[in-house]
Amino acid sequence: MKEDIRNFVRRKYAGAIQQKQGCCSSTAGGCCSGGEFSCDPITAGLYQPEEIAGLPEDLIASSFGCGNPTLLADLQPGEVVLDLGSGAGLDVLLSARRVGPTGKVYGLDMTDEMLATARANQQRAGVDNVEFLKGYIEDIPLPDNSVDVIISNCVINLSADKDRVLAEAYRVLKPGGRLAVSDIVLTRPLPLQVQQDLLAWAGCVAGALLQEEYREKMVRAGFKDISIQITRTYDFTDPAAASILPNLSEAERRDLNGAVASAFIRGYK
């Protein structure tokens, strides 16, 4: 089942980036920057215009996030940053600006199409302190104690082995390092039908954890001073949100209202 989920997610996001389709949705979006084209409620309005000024419009339109971890992480000049599931590279390039030329940002992704797009975006942006790596977030290809900050944007929920993801994140962080991610969490359990729906997995819903489950897994991985702050709760009766769960009826989607939320999640090694 874990490999089925991974392969399905890989195919969905490979197809999405090739079509420049927006973030955590099964339909075209390109909505993470807000404004009149903000159709997907998970991705809309995450970045302020001044943050993304000067970046290619197609890069902004192909973000797949549910938050803005580059602000959450309070990045400082000279820090080494790792973005888990870096996609087309928006958060990596924004982080590179914040850590400056003395810092370094790694982007990790399993999808060849995403990596090719990200590297092209890096070249267009003229950013040197960035390196994109191919690999799984459950098996990070970096040494122990090598990273100051780990960020991620609506990706950990997509993994079928979150304990391994968090253990790997803890391993590569330096002592005193921090995890600062945006992710989807649940306020109550999802129906079994939704949990088993692969489209709902790829849509960042079915794989989400209850808040306390997330906290417990972080504790088991070794993290301290954990905080989970809900930033948005979603209405799945919205026509755009309905595209995330196309296999559910309107009544079934209505029952999910309030159960799915974006959150800022922090923890320290």
For 199-217, write each residue's pLDDT tens digit.
Answer: 777 778 888 999 999 999 9
Tell me what pLDDT residue 54 has: 62
Length of the chain: 269
- In the predicted structure, residue 43 carries a pLDDT above the cut 70: no
pTM of this structure: 0.84
- In the predicted structure, residue 16 carries a pLDDT above the cut 70: no
Name which of 83, 89, 37 is nearest 181 in CA terms: 83
Tell me what pLDDT residue 62 has: 57
| Cα–Cα separations (whole angstroms), residue 192 to 105, 207, 250, 256, 265 | 38, 11, 17, 12, 25
Show the tokens assigned to 159: 């993994």
Tell me what pLDDT residue 118 has: 92
* Alpha helix segments (H runs only) across the chain: 2-18, 49-52, 57-61, 69-72, 90-99, 112-125, 162-172, 192-195, 198-202, 211-221, 239-242, 250-255
Choosing among 3.40.50.150, 3.40.50.10190, 3.30.450.40, 3.10.150.10, the CATH entry for 2-268 is 3.40.50.150
Q: What are the boundaries of each domain within the chain? A: 2-268
**Average pLDDT, whole number, for the chain?**
82
- Tens digit of each residue's pLDDT (9 = 90 or more) over 222-248: 999 999 999 888 888 877 667 777 788
